[in-house]
Structure 1
């Protein structure tokens, strides 16, 4: 069978090296020595390997390989191998789209973290799992993204003060305040409720196994075109998670004067003011994940959530 991916990028988890005042996490320490071995395996299969620039600064065994900035990888490569946890995969999945077509670069996740819902190949098995995938033996899957904007009213009219993609979730929370945040929620211009809670989560199916799950939200299969709207520690116990169609526009407006923040995939955030409006729509872009042949989402759930264990 012919090699399907000839130019492959290698992306590692940050920080791979100790930072001032701290040490790299366990996922970084596990990934660091493995990156050189993965690069050697790719080359043995006939792939040309490039390393994401920040990964190359800290990883072992990658000397002499060309480097690319993260934002340039999609236009130069056929595939990206992401070595780390789900956060590393989320960070790559929000950026790696072809600049002309908007198509998501195929991503394979190798898990060096803990849970790994979307990085489903273990470090111990990559040597046997990767070669067939490089030659076309894989399952392809699309993952929807959200486009979220923060709109701020002002004397000269409304203006967008923040714009971001999210693959997991958009989370509005109380920040460092000790009180609850109050949010006016609308879906497609129709009033839903004024939520008083520690915060509110709007999650994709990918994000339904992240913060939303901890807040009591349901697990959505990735093929479902839906979002979860889940309150965080609501004032009213009747305020329960709701599943929405993902073609809706969801509006979250800050009603209370208390401090509030909004996070996008827990990786980018911005401070909010009273009256700010967070508008969330489904993005036109879709991330593309590749899994080993025979992969099943239910296998992932059973393994990661320890179902059927005695």
Structure 2
């Protein structure tokens, strides 16, 4: 492991300070830090490298920021099986679970091959507009929701080739176990351990008392079809997406390539739940 990618939250001065220290730390060990030129030049961190080169050549990706920064890094890695080390400088830090004071001890363990790397399910998402298809890779969730006009709409749901139901709601979330503590949790969906191979289908404000979140096996393909005229938008990981029109379909299935995440050696998943979400407190 010789080439270490870095992605930082540019709006956070602390991230720039840590990045500058980290560059010196890596270079002192004959390692090559790869920083996107947009991040490097705007923060006095050298010339940097083209964005595609950073994500094509890195053997480890260090994220300095919050969960949103890690989601962006995961998207740009596409299908590459490169471990991601997330350092929490944000407010929640559910994905970036390594604290800043743990960065260098954890990095030493990573370089020595003595740290646990876990797999996180990702989703392959296709938005079909007639015969035209737009593809995305998602770590947390894909959300179909109303756009500018505030009105509920009908969405036909098919799971594993079988009709599930037509939900009438403000929207719908298809979430991975990793994303179960994000938007899914806010709409009453279950918390699912990230090692579990399943997906969650959770309606947003359904117009039916019996329409509840459903957990389905990870091998099943999910198809969502917009069956009425409505202003609807599909969003992937809250960062990219496009509008949907009547008859358009969203096809969701587990991506063959999971995201590899460096697990904090200091705490378990349940400890993160207690710390970040105050789970189980009275």
- Partner in structure 2 of residue 278 of structure 1: 250
C-alpha contact 2:5 2:55 (8 A) present in aligned 1: no
TM-score by length of 1: 0.85
- TM-score after normalising by structure 2: 0.93
User: Which of the residues 234, 243, 252 maps onto 1:262?
Assistant: 234
Aligned to 1:113: 90
1:301 aligned to which of 243, 267, 273? 273
Instruction: Determine which of 166, 171, 185 is the counterpart of 2:157.
Output: 185
Matched, 1:143 2:120: yes
Task: Please give the secondary structure, in 2, of the residue aligned with 1:92.
Answer: helix
Classify the secondary structure of the residue corresponding to 1:285. Answer: coil
Match of 2:41 in 1: 57
Alignment of 1:83-232 (within 5 A): 83-97=64-78, 102-153=79-130, 159-232=131-204
Q: CA deviation at 1:150?
A: 1.3
Task: Say which of 236, 239, 262 aligns to 2:208.
Answer: 236
Q: Which residue of 2 aligns with 1:31?
A: 15
The answer to whether residue 59 in structure 2 is matched with residue 81 in structure 1 is no
Please report how far the alpha carbon of residue 178 of structure 1 lies from its aligned counterpart in structure 2 after TM superposition.
Answer: 1.0
Please report how far the alpha carbon of residue 295 of structure 1 lies from its aligned counterpart in structure 2 after TM superposition.
4.1
Give unmatched runs, 5+ long, in structure 2. none
Contact 2:106 2:265 (C-alpha < 8 Å) held by counterparts: no
Compute the displacement of 1:273 (Å): 0.5
Q: How many corresponding residue pairs?
A: 282
Three-state SS of the structure 2 residue aligned to 1:117 is coil
How big is the alpha-carbon RMSD for the aligned residues of Structure 1 and Structure 2?
A: 1.8
Of 222, 225, 231, the residue aligned with 1:253 is 225
Runs of 4+ in 1 over 6 A off after TM superposition: none
1:293 deviates by 2.9
